[in-house]
Amino acid sequence: MDVAVARKPLRADAARNVDKIITAAQQCFREFGPDVPLQTIAVTAGVGPATLFRNFADKEALVLATLGRQLRLRVDPVMEQSLLDPDAARALLRVIEAIMTAASDDANLLAAVAGRRRQLLRSITGNVIGTLGVLLGRGQAQGTLRTDISLPDMIQLLGMLIGVLDTLEPGSDAWHRPLSLMEDSIRTTRPARPLPAQEHQPDLTYAGMAPA
């Protein structure tokens, strides 16, 4: 997956430092949450703050690089396999599920840049959008995906799914339920399967909607 951030080739020692910092960032965000200080990440990586800031101007740049690496490692292989799948609708859902799994596992990274998530995610999508477009077109030609759905629709649906993670407990896999609801909405024929179980009922008391 291409990351829209131009970087000059690094020396071997500098490249190792970058890799250590990104690995430490992933660990620290998972362990300490979205507000983890950069100093903690530098200590965990075994580098000085100057080394961290020489490679990453701020927390957002570090989050961007960490998310980008995770998507390259976890989503790119799924996309390559999905493009070979003769069932385009199934392949499309597999790619979205891979993205959601990666996003769920690193939800604290997304929470750290909640205010600028749209801009940051747009810069690391790379060939994901292209792959979704290819699979959507194939599925529509095969008659398994609705022909009135556009690629921008798919991108918005994916953004909505990622937003669901903000409403779930860390580590929860309850996002499978809204993913299934999305699948029901884009297929020409609704799959004959029950929805995944709901994690818990939402608290509606604040809206005055609690049952009497």
Average pLDDT over residues 182-191: 96
Tokens of 77: 């292989």
pLDDT of residue 119: 65
What total of structural domains would you count in the chain? 2
Question: What's the CA gap between 96 and 196, in Å, rounded?
Answer: 16
Q: Please give the helix or strand (H or E) that residue 90 lies within, else none.
A: helix 88-105
The residue whose two tokens read 């998972």 is 30
78 and 43 share one domain: no
Question: Residue 110: pLDDT band by 50, 70, 90 thresholds?
Answer: confident
Question: Residue 120: pLDDT band by 50, 70, 90 thresholds?
Answer: low
Q: Residue 116 sits in a domain of what CATH number?
A: 1.10.357
119 and 28 share one domain: no
Task: Look up the domain containing 156 and give its range.
Answer: 71-186
Residue 139 lies in a domain: yes
- pLDDT tens digits for range 141-156: 999 999 999 999 998 8
Average pLDDT over residues 51-55: 95
pLDDT of residue 12: 77
Average pLDDT over residues 21-40: 95
Residue 65 lies in a domain: no
Average pLDDT over residues 102-119: 81
Q: Residue 26 sits in a domain of what CATH number?
A: 1.10.10
Residue 1 lies in a domain: no
Question: Residue 203: pLDDT band by 50, 70, 90 thresholds?
Answer: low
pLDDT of residue 207: 46
Determine if residue 208 is left, alpha or beta; phi over 0 gives left, psi from -120 to 50 gives alpha, anything else beta: left
pLDDT of residue 117: 64
| Mean pLDDT over the full length of the chain | 87
136 and 83 share one domain: yes
Q: Which residue has the higher pLDDT, 196 or 113?
A: 196
Residue 114 lies in a domain: yes
Per mean pLDDT, which range of 10-19, 128-137, 202-211 is the poorest? 202-211
Do 86 and 19 form a contact (C-beta atoms < 8 A)?
Answer: no
The residue whose two tokens read 């049952």 is 211
151 and 52 share one domain: no
Q: Which residue has the higher pLDDT, 143 or 117?
A: 143
pLDDT of residue 3: 45
